[in-house]
Amino acid sequence: MDWKRILDFTKTEVLGLDIGSSAVKVVRLRKDDGGYAVTAAGFAEIAPTTSFCEVNGGGEEDNNHQNTIKAIRECFESVGRKTKLAVCGISGPEVAVRDFVFPLLSTEEIDGAVSFEATQVCPFNAADSAVDYHLIPNGDDKTRGILVAATNALIKSKVQLTKETALKCVLMDVDGLALLNCFNGLTDESKRSTTAILNVGGSGTTVAIMGGNGRPFVRDMTFGGDNIIKQIAADKGISTEDIKGILFGDSTAVQMELHNNFEKACQRLIVDVSETLRYYATQEQSTPVEKIFVCGGFALVRGFVELLNRRLGVEAVLWNPFEKIRCDAGQQFGDIVDKRGPALAVAAGLAMRSV
């Protein structure tokens, strides 16, 4: 099946559905003359795989699938059944976002050139992938743009998850591009500078940058909060669930006991992000990153953003996009975006594709 374009759906209200490795996030937005407004938001953790396997003897992959289905349903129920249409996001090693520059081509030649380029730059089999692109006019005698490729297996898995929860995936986006779309949608164009969005989730981290050259830069790394938690747990001889409870808890005194272990466990992430920023700086027409906006579930760990701010050499701040989005929903949804806003950034960007 051709997953390249599921449906061109741009005006009807939909759910922004971010299915992560440790939690499911849902956002529904409305746009009017006053800007964006939240009409619903939901968050549900995905239960650890061990609990189901021990009781039922199921395989880990099947266990994780069932727990994810349960979390999606929980989110769907919490925001009401106003719509079953969802925009989903994808990221990770089975997704590639690359820019391209060709000699000036006719419209008929571009598709073939992009498809061939994908076979050269994608770290997976482009022939078994969906490939799409967007042209960026530059006023010169070149054909420039951005191509996006993702494996059919990854896209199919996300579509299947929504199907099993009575939802319908009407559009697929890339997490990094959804983050940039969200940031740009909430920022005055005259105040924009070269900004990096750092989304730190459970199983991975995304760096998304939009610079003065008008071309997005996206890099997904397979190292995230779960890796940091596991390393601290191994160093301290404590369960990962206990470490997670400490890091996301309110006890500053207990967290201070893990200070050295925490900085050590974050070192690989800091190195990966630093190398990504240096690589971006070498790109054609790139400009230095002036600020890093940190989001994702792990961004809510006390002291994490402050650590990045000290170690990355670029100002890092916690980013909650809902500080610029009014809430026209009940207190329940208002509490979710206030408390978990940075973790809902991708879902907000996905929801913006509906307007």
**Domain locations in the chain as residue ranges:** 15-354
Residues in the chain: 355
Q: How far apart are CA 258 and CA 236, in angstroms?
A: 9
Q: Write out pLDDT tens, residues 227-236.
A: 999 999 999 9
Q: How far is CA 88 from CA 117, 126, 342, 347, in A?
A: 26, 21, 18, 8
pLDDT at 8: 45
Residues in the chain with pLDDT < 70?
A: 1-12, 50-59, 190-191, 253-254, 354-355
pLDDT at 254: 65
pLDDT at 355: 44
pLDDT at 10: 46
Q: Which fold has domain 15-354?
A: Nucleotidyltransferase; domain 5 (3.30.420)
CB atoms within 10 A of CB 289: 22
Give the tokens for residue 9.
């759906």
pLDDT at 110: 96
Structural contact between residues 236 and 277, judged by C-beta atoms closer than 8 angstroms = no
Q: How far apart are CA 108 and CA 308, in angstroms?
A: 47
3-class DSSP string for 301-328: CCCHHHHHHHHCCCCEEECCHHHHCEEC
Q: How far apart are CA 291 and CA 62, in angstroms?
A: 41
